[in-house]
Amino acid sequence: MWTHIASAWSEGSQLDLYERNGLHMIRVDGWELMNGEYHASEDQLGRLAALLPNSPHPEILVGGLGLGYTLASILETLNTRIHQTQAWVTVAERSGAVLRWFGTHINPRLVATLSSGVRLIESDVADHFGEDRRWDVIVLDVDNGPRALSAPGNAVLYSARGLARCWDCLATSGHLLLWTGFEDREFIGRACAAGFSVTLQSIPLPNRTDQAHVVYVLSRERLSRDDCDQLGLCRAA
């Protein structure tokens, strides 16, 4: 049984935080936004974000925070490669309540140990797409996929215009990573038209042979076959 912990209002929607056996769940207007019971794909999203950049000082942008599994996985993986202090990680989270709850209820231990290169900012992820930025990796996990939006304003992120903006603010060998609950061939078509080389990894859901979460990797430069094999990625197009 989930226990209700806190409520908040954000842009006309009601957010509720619940806890059960140390795990958390966030609902928006009664709909589940994120549940801590199963987070293999969010973890894998973070691992790929930390493993893909070649730079010794990678700059990674993450939108949004949610329950922070992707952030935790990025930091853990960076620590095995370089050290999180060598990287810059910016997390853009639109909801102030989600950011507050992360520090007070969800993962205060992680917040207390963040290095100075890790910033959690209340903002829309698109606000960080300035042309002067050259992100090594942009991670998008703000919706259930390019067609299942948590807010109508997010549609632009997956449009030809949004993809072109991401292209412009990525480093030459940068990557845009996208979490989605469903494969979307039209989105892949737009990503290819924008110039990206697209690979993907499917992460099966437990006890479901018919359903998987998907991480799309949109790369400005085509990944080598060895890189794909090592990272467990296959070509989408």
Amino acid, res. 90 = T
Nearest CA to 58 out of 31, 27, 82 is that of 82
As measured in angstroms, the least distance from the Cβ of 20 to ligand SAM is 16
| Interface residue with ligand SAM, options 34, 49, 89, 138 (CB under 6 A) | 34
C-beta separation of 16 from 6 below 8 A: yes
For ligand SAM, the closer CB: 39 or 190: 39
Residue choice 17, 25, 33, 233 for contact with ligand SAM (CB under 6 A): 33
Which residues from 168-227 bind ligand SAM, rule CB under 6 A?
Answer: none
Q: Could you give the dihedral angle defined by the CA atoms of residues 141, 135, 45 and 231, in that order, rounded to the nearest 10 degrees?
A: 150
Interface residue with ligand SAM among 150, 159, 173, 197 (CB under 6 A) is 150
Binds ligand SAM by CB under 6 A, chosen from 151, 205, 212, 231: 151
3-state SS record for 118-135: EEEEECCHHHHCCCCCCE
Q: What are the phi and psi torsion angles at 38 (to 5°)? A: -140, 115
Q: Which residues bind ligand SAM (CB under 6 A)?
A: 33-34, 42, 63-70, 92-95, 98, 124-125, 141-142, 150-151, 154
